[in-house]
Structure formats: structure tokens, C-alpha cells
Amino acid sequence: MQAQPSRPPFPPISGICRTDSPARAAYAEGAGIFRIVPEGVVVPSTTRGLSTVVAWAAANRVPLVPRGAGSGMAGGNIGSGVVVDLSVLDGAPLLVNGGARRAVAGTAVTHRALDEDARRRGLRLPPDPSSARFATMGGMVSTNASGPRSVAAGSIRRWVEAIEMITPDGLPLLLRRGETPLPTPTVERFGREAEPALRAAEGLIRDRFPRTLKNSSGYALDQWLDSGDLLDLVVGAEGTLGFVTRTEWRLEPVPREYGGVRAALGNIGALGEIVAELRELSPSAVEYLDASFLSFAEVGEGGVEGLLMVELEGEDRGEVASRTGLAGRILARHSEQIKSAADRQSLEALWSIRHAASPMLARLGESRRSLQVVEDGCVPLAAMPGYISAVRQSAERQRLQVVIFGHAGEGNLHVNLLPDLAEPDWQERVVAMFEEVTDAVIALGGSPSGEHGDGRLRAHLLERVYGPEIVALFRLVKDAFDPKGIMNPGVKLPQPDHRPFGYLKVGDRAAPLPSRIEAGLREIERNAGYSLSRLELAGDY
């Protein structure tokens, strides 16, 4: 295992601080492709303790890696510094105000916990990632997460009313939408060192940002220009601008009625036009399962290029039924295989195929692993057929099996690569495919990340996507919030020695871990057991 560098002792806090090998190993992986053994682990139990840790890190220039459940794909939850596990911070407080349609949740609260509480009052937080049972509020804010039903709900940013955070100075900061924050050092630095340049570059920002329906790549300068709210920069910042400790959310009533349609497409050439037409019906979800997905899940039929699944919801049964019928007629022009649903139970049956491949991907044998490398591209709707074709062609060139699926309603498609680790050049071919598909995303006017963030995987792509002038503005934002560079270095913006594929969790180049810890991390990956405390995996010392 990687040697532990020397550093000043941890400050006394309410919580746990560990530097032993089992604890460091237990935090060496998240849900993505990486393995990096940290210097140490801190699990603060209070916001005051977190503030103490941040002030200590700033004084000693110790890099900090914020972490929730560790389920993020892009590598923003692992690193060589000190991992700060927020999973028990302040006891995960949650308060739902049904009358005001608001919820205030601590960073450790899971989406499922908030949603279950809200639904008892007839409300919900609409963006619902498939990882809802373990995805934390802090993690969702950090990546601007979304999910299958974000075609109507949008990403998390739309639902955030206020954020409480600990800045990289170790000080609390409240950011509330539409209100000027108090003049803390962070706010003053931003106003002095970043805001004038951002305002002056508005035209360039508008021109260079991808014209996609979702984007979690880079800092959201375009959204900040629209609102003037600093919280729009913190949302999606992946923990590089500070620690989110509490969030206030807007909620909405749970719909009464549901409908859905599933169609098997023999040709996906018109996919973008079909989705654009379906969006006119205000669907809550439009999901795509490629032939590669269907074949892997062993549910494919001959001549089917992909499945398109549409969900609609509303308050009036007749109105929802009417829109469902219209969706069916749109799809019938492109498919002879149509299935419909008119209630929640039937709809879940239609959607069951969407979940068929996930357990199979997680439980592949050790010689063939599912790697989330080309896993979050988002392109304009009209470009979806071209993007799918580019992925398929690259996979064929590189002799890699792939599984393609995702949120067609916004052009956000996920790709899992399934390399055979017994082949000596598998890593080189995976990297080659990453580069080829990235070129395709950029050529099609897309973003390399629709909802998962840049992490360590895509940080080096920002200059290719946005150009050096925009990346220089990103650095102004980062430096204004984090002048000592302690917050998640190497995430969002690459470090000079950036090696995105130099720290894989698989293959003979992976950092060695104690066998018991390695086996435990593999079980977490196989069973999506991200609710498990990594300290429980590490054991006592």
C-alpha cells in the first residue's frame, strides 16, 4: 500500500481521526474506476468539528477530500489527501415543512430519507437518481445530480433554495437564493478577484458553454450570470469550493396519475426528432436502452436497435391518458412493438427492464469488469444518433464490449465499458476509446458530463471543451473560494501531474490493499452497498 506521508497531527475534534492502514485502505475507492490511498480519514460528528478540521488544513496546506456515500462515479470522492467523511455530520438532521413545501436537510441525509418523509405529507423532491437509497444531499448538490425523471424536474440546482457551507477558510457561510450573502472573506475575495472578470467575459461564456439540456462539467458560470447567486457556483462544484453542510430544498406535490409507453425501435436515426416531439407532451421521463444494453441483459429481440420508454404524470386521469395516447401514436410511427401502462403498478412493470442489467454489470467475474469511463456524455437531442454511432464504432475499433443507456429526454447517455482484463493491452484500448468518444462529444457540441461531474476522470478535458480562456475563469473562481488550494485538488481542475488513468482499481497497476479490505470494497461495488460505513469495513485498531 502507498506510504503515508508525514503531516501535522490532527486537531482535537468531536469525531474520529485515523491514519492506520485499514482505515486508509477502506477509503481508497468509490463507485468509479479509481483507487487512491489517502493520507488519513476524518469523520467529524459536528459542523464545529468540521470547521476546526478545515482551519487546520488551511493553516498546514493539507488537501481535503469531501465524501458522502462514496457512490460518485467520476472520482471526486477519493484522493491522496485527508478524506473527510460527512456521513454522520450533525446526526443527519432533517426537517420537512409541508405547509411551506420546504425541507432543510443535513449533508448526510439520503435522498430516500428526505423523499419518504416528504411523501408522508404528499410532497416530493422531484430529481430522483437511481442511487436515491444511499445518495446524500451533500453529494447530490456537489455534482448537480439529476436522474431518470429530470426531463421534467431538471437537475438538483433548480430545487436548491439555500446552502449552508464551511468555506476553505474554515468559516460558515449562508447562501440563499435571491439574497446578498454576508461579507465573509470568501464573498469579498470573489467580488474583488473573480466577479469583474466574469462579468466582462459574459459574451465569451455564453458562446463557449455547451448548448445541452444538462451540464455538470466545469463551474456553472452561465447559471451564475443568470442568477447572480453564489450558490449556483457551489452547486456542481464537487467539493472544490467548500463543504456543504445543510441545504434547503423546494418540494412539490406528488402527482396522482401516471401513464407510460415503451417502444422497440428498429432504427434510431430519428431518435432526436422523436424525443423532441415527445417533449412537447411534458413527459416526466424519456429513457433509452440501446441494443447493446438489451443484448447484455438478455432481453433483446432481433432487429431492435433500442427501446424508448416514456413516462407521464399529472393530476387528472383523463388528461394523463390523453397525453399517453399521443405519445403512443408518436412512437407507433417508428415502431410496431408498443406497450402501454395506465397506472403506477403497470408503469413499474414497463420500467423493470431498465434495471435488468445493473445487477449483472456489478456481478461480472473478476476477468471482465464494468468500468465507468465513457459514462456521462450529454449532447444536443438531434446529435444523439451520431453520438451512439460514434460510441459503437469506437468500441468496435478498440475491441471493447459496451452497454449504452440513459436519459434520452435530455441527450444524456451512459456507457459502461466491459474490458477483458486478461488481454494485455486492455488499458490502452480503454484510454483510446475515452479519447475517441470525447472528441465525438465535443464535435457534436456536447458536454462530457451531464449529471455526474468532472471528478478526476474528466478534469483534464475542460480546456478541450471550453477553451483556455474559460478555464482561466474557472481558476479565478476556484482561487477566490480556495486561495490555498486545499479543497479536492485535482477535481474540476487538473493538477500539473494529472494522470486520469494512472490510479485504476483494477489491473496489475492498481495500488495494493489488504486482502480483507479489497474483498470488502468489491462486495460494496457488487451489491451497491454504499450505505456501509467504511470504518465498519476497516474495523477497530
Q: Is 210 helix (H, G, I), strand (E, B) or coil?
A: coil
CA distance linking residue 91 with residue 44, whole number of Å: 10
Please state, in angstroms and rounded to a whole number, the distance separating the CA atoms of residues 275 and 330.
10
Helix locations, 303-383, DSSP H = 317-332, 344-351, 357-362
| Closest by Cα among 333, 327, 375, 370 to 350 | 327
In terms of Cβ atoms closer than 10 Å to its own Cβ (0-12, 13-18, 19+), residue 365 is: exposed
> Is CATH 3.30.70.2190 what the domain over 257-359 is classified as, yes or no?
yes
b/e per residue 367-403 (b: at least 16 CB within 10 A): eebbbbbbbbbbbbbbbbbbbbebbbebbeebebebb
Per-residue pLDDT of the chain in tens (541 residues, 90 and over written 9) = 555 556 788 999 999 999 999 999 999 999 999 999 999 999 999 999 999 999 999 999 999 999 999 999 999 999 999 999 999 999 999 999 999 999 999 999 999 999 999 999 999 999 988 888 999 999 999 999 998 888 999 999 999 999 999 999 999 999 999 999 999 999 999 999 999 999 999 999 999 999 999 999 999 999 999 999 999 999 999 999 999 999 999 999 999 999 999 999 999 999 999 999 999 999 999 999 999 988 887 776 678 999 999 999 999 999 999 999 999 999 999 998 999 888 888 888 878 887 666 667 777 777 788 899 999 999 999 999 999 999 999 999 999 999 999 999 999 999 999 999 999 999 999 999 999 999 999 999 999 999 999 999 999 999 999 999 999 999 999 999 999 999 999 999 998 888 889 999 998 889 999 999 999 999 999 888 999 999 999 998 7
Per DSSP, the three-state class of 228 is: coil
Q: Is 491 helix (H, G, I), strand (E, B) or coil?
A: coil
C-alpha cell at 10: 490532527
Neighbours of 315 (CB within 10 A): 10
Query: DSSP string of 284-316?
Result: SEEEEEEHHHHHHTT---TT--EEEEEEEEES-
C-alpha triplet 400, 406, 408: angle, nearest 5°: 125
Query: Cα–Cα distance between 310 and 279 in angstroms, integer?
Result: 10
SS3 226: helix
**CATH architecture group of domain 90-253:** 2-Layer Sandwich (3.30)
Model confidence, pTM: 0.95
State the CATH class of domain 15-89+500-534.
alpha beta
Q: What residues does each domain of the chain span?
A: 15-89+500-534, 90-253, 257-359
CA dist 184 and 49 (Å) reads 20
Q: How far is the CA of 59 from the CAs of 12, 190, 206, in angstroms? A: 15, 20, 37
376 vs 452: CA distance, rounded Å: 7
